[in-house]
Structure 1
Amino acid sequence: MITLNDTTMQVLLVALIALPLLGAAAVLLPRVPAWAGVAVTGAVLAGTLVLAAAFDHDDPAAVQAESDVPWIPALGVRLHFGVDGISLPLVVLTALLTFLCALYTLVRPPEGPRPAAFTALMLLLEAGTLATFAVLDLVLFFLAFEMVLVPMYFLIARWGGAGREAAAWRFVLFTVTGSVVMLLGLLLIGVRGGTFDMVALAEADGAGLSHATQVVAVLAIGLGLAVKTPMWPLHSWLPDAHTAAPTAGSVLLAGVLLKMGTYGLVRIALPMAPEGMETFAPYLGAFAVTGIVYGSLACLALVRRGAGGDLKRLIAYSSVGHMGFVLLGISTLTATGVNGALFANVAHGLITGLLFFLVGALKERTGTTDLDGLAGGGGAALYGRTPRFGGLLAFAAVASLGLPGLAGFWGELLALLGAFHPADGLSRPAFLTYTAIAAFGTLLTAAYLLLVVRRVCMGDAPGERAGGVEGAGGAGDVEGALPDLRAHEYAAFAPLVVLTLLAGLWPAVLLDLTDPAVQHLLPGAVR
């Protein structure tokens, strides 16, 4: 543990948001070395670890490292920052994934224009995401939420693969439309509540907001956040964006950007408009379990032989299902369910981030992510050709399906337990039905991920299929020799593996942070 005074904590949190902005400008200057982006993201990661170590873990429900100064007095908008047990894990996750992406792209820069511009956009993305999780003012939340759209658009449109421009435009169109609707809801809560301060509004538990106001506000805010989550049926931008995005873009999109939507539901809608959330909770649960089953069925369709399925697209659809568990947990309005949602958020960021890293590395080796192309002879045989790489891909797959002992298990379990005993006032028969459907979804998830492992990792090596000795094809030849894990890949992948194991074997490391904060935010909590 590290002890820092309040002023130092405040300065540290603001510096963590400002440093990527300064770094984005610095890396574009002439003669700045290519490793500057790694240095900046490494400094941000080190700062978040110091912040986490200095955080008062005995009182995670309290807002810490809090700074609050006027910004636009005429509108009552303030520069209000702080973190608690809900936002701190997401701040650390954002800093970690951005650092790993910068490290990975330093060695394997994406194809396209200036690598320095790519790094600058990643740093802008990091600044906006960190700000989203740290701001405590509704107007600032909206500005930070929107800040990430521009860099992600250019990461996809300029450094993406086939269909990148259409995918980038679709991403922007969906998210901007959702954000406009969300802004109306945020303004409604701020104006009717008399303040834009998120702490004050949360402590009021909806006081001063009529039932009708809360319902309209949750509908507007929920629609905007549901697009970013993404919730079925507002998910259709996601598969195209992931398929076209470069590896680092896919990792950040899945690992941190999707979390902004569910974080907003927990931070804003749940405590500030509890009656509105209670009204929409059954519908949210229904959309959540539909997304779980839909995402799994889409993955099963992509993985079958002859379907021409793309592995990146399959993982994108898997995110629709996994984020369905997050939404299901939130819809229960219980501490168990919401804690499960927050745990699943972090677990999904670690596991899916690792999966997208691995698929990107696989494409570098083979030149394709097409499942039929990879497994043309019955299986890509990664176990035999690249045993460490194949084993790591299988590890990520079983972690994603929720194997006990790994991070993916606890979030799904707690979400199901929350749905089994939803909050008072919600229909238990309806949520028991959701529990059964979601549990069936876990079976479908296991089915398609095990099929992925079978088709990509198992099978006979190319030489064995022909009954002879394997040829010495190049690294980009699907039927030739493939290099196993490289040094920079070990460095980028190992932290995600370790944290997936740590969160799975010691879930209290996260739950001890989130549970007091969730109890504090839930309607009717003792302040």
Structure 2
Amino acid sequence: MTDFPFLVAMIAVPAIGAAVVAALPRGRELLAKQLALAVSLVVLVLAVLAAVAFDTGGDRFQLTHSWTWIADFGVSFAVGVDGIALVMLLLIGVLVPLVIGASWEDGPGADGGAPDADGGAARSRSMRFFFAWLLLLEAMMVGVFAATDVFLFYVFFEAMLVPMYFLIGSFGGPRRQYAAVKFFLYSLVGGLVMLAAVIGLYVVSNSQLGEGTFAFDALRQLDIDPGVQKLLFLGFFVAFAIKAPLVPLHTWLPDSAAEAPVGGAVLLVGVLDKVGTFGFLRYCLPLFPDASRYFAPMVLVLAVVGVLYAALLAMGQSDMKRLVAYTSISHFGFIALGIFAFTTEAATGAVLYMVNHGIATGLLFLVVGMLIARGGSRQIGDYGGVAAHAPKLAGAFLIAGLASLALPGTNSFVSEFMVLIGTFPERPVYAILATGGIILAALYILLMYQRTMHGPARGVVAPVADDEHTPSGAAAPAGEPTGAGATAVLTAPVGTAVRFSDLSRREIAVVAPLVVLILVLGVQPQLLLDFIEPAVIATLSDLGATR
């Protein structure tokens, strides 16, 4: 079973599926959805089988396959996973089918994204390409976590920008073009800086080994001069810090996450941003150990500033999607803190946090998208008393919020606790300061939940005067959700109940797996820790850390 090319298949299947979905004729949007869902489920099955085949007590990198790609430059199409990469592949396998399911009924535009401007033909075309871009993004995300050749990693790192750019720019909100360009430019600049460091690594390997190589195992054996290490470290670090993102390189994320369609936002914050923190662990620490220790105090300061600064900004947001984006920046500060504390417990907690954050924030973004699809507004102040009309939606919102603030019993608590308890013995000041982020998280999450779900009905939930409602048979306002699952917002005369629909069976099927994972991993984190801890120990041993 271990000889089966699981990783190659996980890259090839969604890439081929994307091409097939995009090539479908107009008017076949239902088939496009069905094919996209089927392909994503195949990838999920492959990810689960790969986890079953993975031996937690075996070699560091497993399920490896390699083919020569550019022989003259020592480039190979080489893939393999350690426990850190494997749990990220499992996260991708879980999230993509749920994103497709969440976008099934209404498609792009249902959550405030770009509405169709030219009728059914445009909707059919956009639906096909929307799901095709999602599948291509899945292939690129798998590739970036599975690559064991540094040049191949760089190729996937840059290539995954393209589908996300089009998901934001073609299917996002009113400021989608600005957000897409900002996302692309930030990421591209970071990638170009990293390319210079990749070339530098090749030159160093050529001088020490007699021939250049991009193979990770060969590169981590190099004895690089500490001064050169610092320069190469910074090249990789800038790219990963932008992607993570760490303050002050974070400003692209709130715009991108707010304007992206909810499905795109889930994958952007839930998976793509983890490439940055994954890069710290996979490349910065093992390849540049001296530089990592030298720059660790700077990174720890940035991490703690990010935890507190982003949490304060989240409290001041009136846009729900921007608020969730800022909470993610704060959480990424915790992850970076755990990585650069250089202890096994903190780093293991950081990797677990990468997965748990994707689950909790993925659910939060999905529920927020469902709320926006019903109310037609992203503003917190436009909602109130939703729980009385949609108790299932309110319940899912509550669980997602409690997981995001790391309530004991939810998955995020275990990872956040491990980060703090692992950091404190070595870096007590940073751990104490970061604890303030927990208090702020409780405030911004509970305030958002209280204002939207409870209290008197108001805004899009409250009844309105007779002269304000849409006459019977009139068309809904542009951009309002219509059809199956649509809600009567601002249409009821005074004295009548406003219909704010609860979760449909399809939506329940989308949120239920994430709710289950939040609860199961909250009480049984060992399911993932068995994969993560051996890989973390091996990574820190490259760094020379013994604790």
Does TM, normalized by the shorter one, top 0.5? yes
1:329 aligns with one of 333, 338, 348: 338
With normalisation by structure 2, the TM-score equals 0.87
Alpha-carbon deviation of 1:418? 2.4
- 1:348 correspondence with 2:346: no
Inter-partner Cα distance in structure 2 for 1:449 and 1:501: 18
- Given that 1:103 and 1:492 are in contact with CA atoms closer than 8 Å, whether structure 2 keeps it comes out as yes
Inter-partner Cα distance in structure 2 for 1:185 and 1:465: 57
2:228 aligns with one of 213, 225, 230: 213
What is the CA deviation profile of residues 484-518 of structure 1, one whole-angstrom value per residue up to 9, with x for unaligned ones?
Answer: 11111111111111111111111111111111111
Alpha-carbon deviation of 1:300? 1.2
2:538 aligns with one of 504, 520, 527: 520
- 1:12 correspondence with 2:6: yes
Inter-partner Cα distance in structure 2 for 1:465 and 1:262: 43
- Given that 2:311 and 2:330 are in contact with CA atoms closer than 8 Å, whether structure 1 keeps it comes out as yes
Q: Which residue does 1:427 correspond to in 2?
A: none
In structure 2, stretches of 5+ residues that fail to align are 110-115, 117-121, 207-212, 471-485, 493-497
Alpha-carbon deviation of 1:199? 2.3
Inter-partner Cα distance in structure 1 for 2:202 and 2:421: 34
Tell which deviates more after alignment, 139-148 or 449-458: 449-458
Inter-partner Cα distance in structure 1 for 2:375 and 2:463: 19
- 1:420 correspondence with 2:420: no
1:396 aligns with one of 388, 393, 400: 400
Alpha-carbon deviation of 1:310? 0.3
CA RMSD of aligned residues (A): 2.1
- Given that 1:364 and 1:476 are in contact with CA atoms closer than 8 Å, whether structure 2 keeps it comes out as no
Q: Which residue does 2:167 correspond to in 1?
A: 155
- 1:125 correspondence with 2:137: yes
Relative to structure 1, the CA distance from residue 146 to residue 465 in structure 2 (aligned partners, 3 Å threshold; closer, same or farther) is: closer
Matched to 1:407, the amino acid is N
Q: Which residue does 1:170 correspond to in 2?
A: 182
Matched to 1:18, the amino acid is A
In structure 1, stretches of 5+ residues that fail to align are 303-308, 375-379, 423-430
Q: Which residue does 1:253 correspond to in 2?
A: 268
Inter-partner Cα distance in structure 2 for 1:350 and 1:381: 26
Relative to structure 1, the CA distance from residue 339 to residue 119 in structure 2 (aligned partners, 3 Å threshold; closer, same or farther) is: same
* Displacement over 3 Å in runs of 4+: 461-468, 471-474
Matched to 1:248, the amino acid is G
What is the CA deviation profile of residues 116-151 of structure 1, one whole-angstrom value per residue up to 9, with x for unaligned ones?
Answer: 101111111101100001010000000001111111
Matched to 2:408, the amino acid is P
- 1:116 correspondence with 2:128: yes
2:22 aligns with one of 19, 28, 32: 28
Q: Which residue does 2:245 correspond to in 1?
A: 230
1:453 aligns with one of 440, 449, 461: 449
Inter-partner Cα distance in structure 2 for 1:283 and 1:496: 35
Inter-partner Cα distance in structure 2 for 1:525 and 1:513: 20
Tell which deviates more after alignment, 458-467 or 41-50: 458-467
Inter-partner Cα distance in structure 2 for 1:68 and 1:13: 11
Inter-partner Cα distance in structure 2 for 1:482 and 1:36: 31
Relative to structure 1, the CA distance from residue 200 to residue 353 in structure 2 (aligned partners, 3 Å threshold; closer, same or farther) is: same
Q: Which residue does 2:42 correspond to in 1?
A: 43
Q: Which residue does 1:68 correspond to in 2?
A: 66
Matched to 1:270, the amino acid is L
Q: Secondary structure at the match of 2:325?
A: helix
Where do 1:97-108 residues align within 5 Å? 97-108=95-106
- Given that 2:424 and 2:432 are in contact with CA atoms closer than 8 Å, whether structure 1 keeps it comes out as no
1:496 aligns with one of 497, 506, 514: 514
Inter-partner Cα distance in structure 2 for 1:500 and 1:274: 35
Alpha-carbon deviation of 1:467? 13
Q: Secondary structure at the match of 2:297?
A: helix
Inter-partner Cα distance in structure 1 for 2:388 and 2:525: 34
Inter-partner Cα distance in structure 1 for 2:501 and 2:299: 46
2:313 aligns with one of 298, 310, 324: 298
Q: Which residue does 2:217 correspond to in 1?
A: 199
- Given that 2:56 and 2:534 are in contact with CA atoms closer than 8 Å, whether structure 1 keeps it comes out as no
Identical pairs, percent: 38
- Given that 2:343 and 2:545 are in contact with CA atoms closer than 8 Å, whether structure 1 keeps it comes out as no
Aligned residues: 495
Q: Which residue does 1:362 correspond to in 2?
A: 371
- 1:487 correspondence with 2:483: no
Q: Which residue does 1:385 correspond to in 2?
A: 389
Inter-partner Cα distance in structure 2 for 1:218 and 1:176: 18
Q: Secondary structure at the match of 2:69?
A: strand
Inter-partner Cα distance in structure 2 for 1:189 and 1:491: 47
- 1:510 correspondence with 2:528: yes
